[in-house]
Amino acid sequence: MEKQVMAIQLENLVQSIKSKVRALKKSKKPYVKMDKSASVRVEIRSRKARKLIDKTLQVADRPGKRTIT
């Protein structure tokens, strides 16, 4: 009996997902593009800064070569 109830619930969930997917396919905009949050922007800047610091340290470790590219 419990298995039947779970099967029905699963079937309802699958039908719900299918109908939402169909609705998304019909709409011109399939998803809403989200803006980057402040924390994501900070993370991106931190990664870029880390890469620049790593490059600078590599150049500093080789005194014969002076330019950073």
pLDDT digits 0-9 by tens, 22-59: 887 777 666 677 788 888 889 999 999 999 999 988 88
Q: What does the pLDDT read at residue 2? A: 81
Q: Examine the pLDDT at 67 and tell me if it is beyond 90.
A: no
In eight-state DSSP terms, residue 31 is S
Q: What does the pLDDT read at residue 5? A: 86
Q: Examine the pLDDT at 62 and tell me if it is beyond 70.
A: yes
Query: What's the whole-model pTM score?
Result: 0.41
Six-digit token pair at 42? 């900070």
Cβ–Cβ < 8 Å for 67, 56: no
- Measured between alpha carbons, how far is 32 from 30 in angstroms, rounded to an integer? 7
Q: What does the pLDDT read at residue 35? A: 82
